[in-house]
Amino acid sequence: MRRLLLMTFVMVLGAGVALAQELPGGRIGIFGENTGTTCSVIDAAPGLLNVYVVQVGTAGSAACQYKAAKPACFPATYLSDSSPFSVVIGNSQTGVSIGYGSCRVGAVHVQTIAFFATGTTPACCLYTLGCDPLSSTEACALGYVDIVDCTQSPAFAKPQVGVINVNGTCACIDIVAEQESSWGQIKALYVE
């Protein structure tokens, strides 16, 4: 009997941890196109190169806040940002907040970052997206990105790394390092 109770407890705890890993904010990161299906950005020739910030897999978001500064390995000139949304405060290079105007689910094209690229970016140049430097939330401190869910409550999304010039030695990866977290720390992220 004790064994059955212990097994039930472990199964319930495991299901709870799995659910916690599937964040309501999904992922937000750098992609090579505006649908969020490929994290590979190709810099093959000099000229205009657009990089896309997309939030994917969200159960419902109304806004986000992040920084997506050009990485040092990317020899390009930052030109501008554009967004399909009209409420944009700041810019991708120093920190930006973007309001969606309504509740959005699934894949959300948040911003397009335009560069003048040289076509000389080395393979496997990682382009990370992270917290806005003005954020002081616990989620940000743990490596997540701040969002606002559809109930207008603070929430978070997992950042997704984009890779400029992917080859066989590199792949798209998460920038949130695996770290020990107690069940209380995970629950605290959802409680205000």
CATH assignment of 24-188, among 3.10.50.40, 1.10.10.10, 3.40.190.10, 2.60.40.680:
2.60.40.680
Where do the domains of the chain lie?
A: 24-188
Residue 37 to residue 169: CA distance in whole angstroms = 20
In terms of pTM, does the model score above 0.85? no
Q: What is the DSSP string of 145-180?
A: EEEEETTS-EEEEEEE-EEES--TT----BSS----
The one-digit pLDDT tens for each residue of the chain (192 residues) are: 333 333 323 333 333 333 334 566 899 999 999 999 988 999 999 999 999 999 999 999 999 999 999 999 999 999 999 999 999 999 999 999 999 999 999 999 999 999 999 999 999 999 999 999 999 999 999 999 999 999 999 999 999 999 999 887 887 765 443 444 455 555 555 555
Q: Both tokens of residue 91?
A: 């810019």
Measured CA to CA, the distance from residue 54 to residue 95 in angstroms comes to 16
Give me the pLDDT at residue 182, please: 54
